[in-house]
Amino acid sequence: MLKTPLIIVNFKTYEQSIGKNALHLARICEKVAASCNIAVAVQTADIYRISQCVEIPVLAQHIDNVDYGQYTGHTLPEAVKQAGAIGTLLNHSEHRLSLDIIKETIRKNKLQIVACAPTSEIALEIAKFKPNFIAIEPPALIGGNISISTAQPELITNTVNKVKEYNIPVLCGAGVKTTQDVKIA
């Protein structure tokens, strides 16, 4: 179960964060997790290895809205769960989905869902589907050196205010790098 306050470290698809390197990074995150809640979002191929070797929550970076059957190349939610993931990112800025697909995927899955939104308006629409968390991530700041908490603190406040009636925790992403960024977020 994911608990707030929470830091999710997305390993993305860098050479330094897959395979054996992913395990090394996950172990570092596990050490830091002694003082705060940390989860790691890893490549599908790394879920089993990492979930067997660390005690922190492991998330998939994405799942597809598919069931058992003829879906070669898709990421089956049940497969990531059996591999050891407790949840998934959904609608990340690098893998956007339509609102209909987000709704259906949230509705039929038993994984913890961290649904990403680029704006507070989209966050509100997603909140109606009742994900476990909403991560507000303006695309222009992702991968950059300026944190959402510095560049657009009002976006965080607006998002929290818009989704509060749904009682869904809001996480902040995009450019979060320093201790101060984390504290503000």
Q: Which residues are catalytic?
A: 92, 137
How far is Cα 162 from Cα 55, in angstroms, rounded to an integer?
Answer: 34
User: Which amino acid appears at position 75 of this protein?
Assistant: T
CB 22 within 8 A of CB 77: no
